Amino acid sequence: MNRGRVWARRVQVTGAVLLCGGYLQDVLLTLQSLTLRRDTHGTWQVLSDPTSISRNWTLAAFFMIIVGLVAFATGYLLRRRGAEPASINRLTWRHLCLALGWVGLLFFGGMYAFYFGLGALVPSALRQSAGLAALGSVSMQIAAIIAIPLYYRRATHEIGLNRPVLTWRIVGYVLMFFIAIFAVSLLTHSLGNWFGINTNSYREQNISSELHTAWWQGNLFLKLLPILASSLIAPIGEELMFRGAVQSTVTTKWGPLAGLLLSSLLFALVHADVVLFLPIFVMGLLFGILRWVTGSLWAPIWLHALNNFYASFLDLL
């Protein structure tokens, strides 16, 4: 590889790191906005107060994302000038950065394009609908569904994206782990009542609001969009990122335990939900164990989708 291509690759990887850093900065800003208050029943509740977010942190995150977008796109365009040999192993730190960089490019690029231009092309009634808001809340997962399979298209088996196979063994695993998640949910609710903490977090309340608002407005498609977003798009996108790209790469480098723990930690962190951090972390562990036991992403995707659909169904009852 010539010196120019090496430089271009470093620029692209740097851009990918900045995009990941910008997203984590957004997560930290969300956590910074959280406040703890007592409700009328004396129960502690975690609420989001956007006015408490630091302006300097916001500007720093925006600057990091813009520089990351420019660097990533520039590095890619410079590398395209010559043919690059196919990689034998894509489970490396560099490839993980680049895969997540593509997710960031589609996510942030699409978001800025929508807010600063393309959004004006969407009819006002649709733009203000709860259904479209639900779809916007899973825009990162949509970016992952597009970017990660394309990036690993020559090595889909390395991230567990094999041909879908449904056997009684896999069905048994999914049902067993679903019962475990249900038990974790009951335990979380019981502990919340014991310590006087409302486990219905601000994030859960936002999802519930989108489900109910969309259900009573718009046509059938807009009614079903929040369910589609939470029960199908979110599980597929998140499993591709955390159990596919992250867990597979970390497992290759540091072993299965490190892959399981680190992917679950990141999975819980990006949800930015203080109240449900530990339950989400445990769910990440269960998804990761299922990925490791079956050797495929499809089992954790089905489990994740089943869990989210069940939660949405209960919410609408």
Q: pTM for the whole thing?
A: 0.93
* Residue 113: Cβ-neighbour burial (10 angstroms; 0-12, 13-18, 19+): exposed
- pLDDT 10s digit of each residue in the chain, 317 long? 577 788 999 999 999 999 999 999 999 999 989 888 888 778 888 888 888 888 888 999 999 999 999 999 999 998 876 545 545 577 899 999 999 999 999 999 999 998 888 877 877 777 778 888 888 999 999 999 999 999 999 889 999 998 777 788 888 989 999 999 999 999 998 998 888 888 888 888 888 888 888 888 767 888 899 999 999 999 999 999 999 999 999 999 999 999 999 999 999 999 999 889 999 999 999 999 999 999 999 999 999 999 999 999 998 87
Domain extents for the chain? 124-316
pLDDT of the residue at 279: 93
pLDDT of the residue at 87: 54
pLDDT of the residue at 149: 96
pLDDT of the residue at 219: 77
pLDDT of the residue at 88: 52
